Amino acid sequence: MSSAPLPSRHSTSSTTGLQNMKIESHLAQIGSVSDTVTGAVSLPIHHATAFRHPCLGQSTGFDYARTKSPTRSVLEDAIAHLESGDAGFACSSGMAALQVVFSLFSQGAHLLVSLDLYGGTYRLLEKVLSRFGISATYVDTNDLDALEANLRPNTKAVLIETPTNPLMKITDLEKVCRWARSRELLSIVDNTLLTPFFQRPIELGADIVVHSASKYLGGHNDVLAGLIVTRHKALSEQVAFLHNSIGAVLGPQDSWLLMRGMKTLALRMERHQENALRIATWLAAHPLVEQVFHPGFETHPGYAIQRRQASGNTGIFSFKLKDARLVEPLLRHVRLIAFAESLGGVESLMTYPAVQTHADIPEEIRRRVGVDDRLLRYSVGIEHVEDLIADLSQALDAARQ
């Protein structure tokens, strides 16, 4: 499903001269030919923060690690290539990446933002950036009429999550990015849930892509990181200035861990989506489950859009129980599945958004979009699907007793 070659105009040090390879090969080869001195297949980690200058007025290209680091640079080149962008920027977390991007905007700026939004992004906008005069309106970003109705003279950008977290709503990226460009707005897409393996928003018209790389890109619940990819050189220069000035950069050890995780992204994403669809289908038929939100279902309102703009589905979905009283015993009785926040790792995790990931969103807003006290989000890992179904089955049986 995902074997289309990446565009040849972008190069990385790990794939020089092999630009027509499929994405699986690009992922596996990240950093593998970067060390030309020793020929090390596993990229060495450069912990240095300072670098000698050959002489006055000359530089090796590395001066101070906040500005540029050898290990981080390989990661940044790789994600720029994978997302078909001009430049990549590795940050200390997904929230740090968003802070750098939001710093493009000045006091008085207004943003249009996906209504079904990750709670941490809402918190950053409403409790931090609002203090600096930046405001946001939350709309269904797939509804052009709603976007147009909420457009203001000071609107500067539209921020899109697709699929959204946790209700898996889909936005037609090509349509909305075209609209944004016609209104001279930046289009920013959070691609955390699909990764460039399944979806490449810049190819669909986006200006900026962000990732919480702690999730599927890292894939092992062991590294905290965020990534930014920019579409063109002028935008890259602006983000590079902010990235360096703010200092929200990723250290060399975490850069290496992230690259190591990304090498197996293709294998993991295939297994994640296969397991998730199987389990979502099983849950949809369970008598204690009222509704399952998965864009791979033909009944999902965004199914056709998702099929058109992405080559696969993510490994998370959400489901709503028929009775809120079932939530606590279900979470208490799962054994293989961990009741834990985060998503995208090889281990299966289940989250209760109303009190965890979306706790900072006011209750009336949560309930309006459907994040109520019966909703659970399931990040399906790469375990054997029959073991995961068996764990859910016994936990649901125990919950109703």
Give the active site residue among 35, 66, 178, 368.
Answer: 66
Contact of 246 with 291, CB cutoff 8 Å:
no
Instruction: Please state whether the peptide bond connecting residue 166 to the residue before it is cis, i.e. omega within 30 degrees of 0.
Output: yes
Closest CA to 207 of 249, 177, 172, 169: 177
265-284 vs 385-399: helix crossing angle, rounded to 10? 40
Write down the catalytic residue from 77, 86, 172, 190: 190
- Strand order through the sheet with 186-190: 87-91, 226-230, 208-212, 186-190, 155-161, 110-114, 135-139
Active site residue 254: no
* 352 carries an active-site annotation: no
Query: Is 216 annotated as catalytic?
Result: no
User: Which of 59-68's residues contact partners 24+ apart within 8 Å by CB, and which partners?
Assistant: 65/249, 65/252, 66/244, 66/247, 66/249, 67/244
Label the pairing between strands 289-293 and 226-230: unpaired
Answer yes or no: 377 catalytic.
no
Query: Which residue among the candidates 118, 138, 352, 378 is catalytic per the annotation?
Result: 118
DSSP letter assigned to residue 45: P
Parallel, antiparallel, or unpaired for β 289-293 and 349-351? Answer: unpaired
Contacts of residue 10, Cβ cutoff 8 Å, sequence gap at least 6: 19, 80, 81, 84, 85
Among 215, 231, 271, 377, the one annotated catalytic: 215
Residues involved in catalysis = 66, 118, 190, 215
